[in-house]
Amino acid sequence: MNSHALIYGLVDYGEGARVVILNRSEAEDIFSALKAIRNSATWHDFRQACPQKYVDRIHENLISEGDHLPDDSRLFCSDQIPYLDYDWPQFASGLFGEGLPRTIVSEYGEPYDTVLDGLFIHFNPEDLITIRKELTRLGYSLERDDEKAAHAVGYGKLNF
* pLDDT tens, residue by residue, 85-102: 556 676 666 666 778 999
CA dihedral 17, 30, 119, 141 (to 10 degrees): -70
Task: Give the Cβ contact number of residue 85 at 10 Å.
Answer: 7
What is the predicted pLDDT for the residue at 86?
Answer: 57
For residues 153 and 50, what is the distance between their CA atoms, to the nearest angstrom? Answer: 18
What is the predicted pLDDT for the residue at 84?
Answer: 58
What are the phi and psi torsion angles at 63 (to 5°)?
-60, -40
What is the predicted pLDDT for the residue at 21?
Answer: 92
What is the predicted pLDDT for the residue at 154?
Answer: 75
What is the predicted pLDDT for the residue at 14?
Answer: 78
Mean pLDDT of the chain: 85
Residue 74 pLDDT grade (very low, low, confident, very high; cuts 50, 70, 90):
very high
CA distances (Å), 20 to each of 35, 44, 98, 122, in order? 21, 33, 12, 5
Neighbour order of strands in the sheet with 5-12: 109-114, 118-123, 17-23, 5-12, 141-144
Higher-pLDDT residue of 159 and 36 is 36
For residues 15 and 28, what is the distance between their CA atoms, to the nearest angstrom? Answer: 26
What is the predicted pLDDT for the residue at 58?
Answer: 86
User: Does pTM top 0.85 for this prediction?
Assistant: no
What is the predicted pLDDT for the residue at 1?
Answer: 41
pLDDT tens digits, 21-71: 988 998 899 889 989 998 999 999 999 999 999 899 888 877 777 788 899
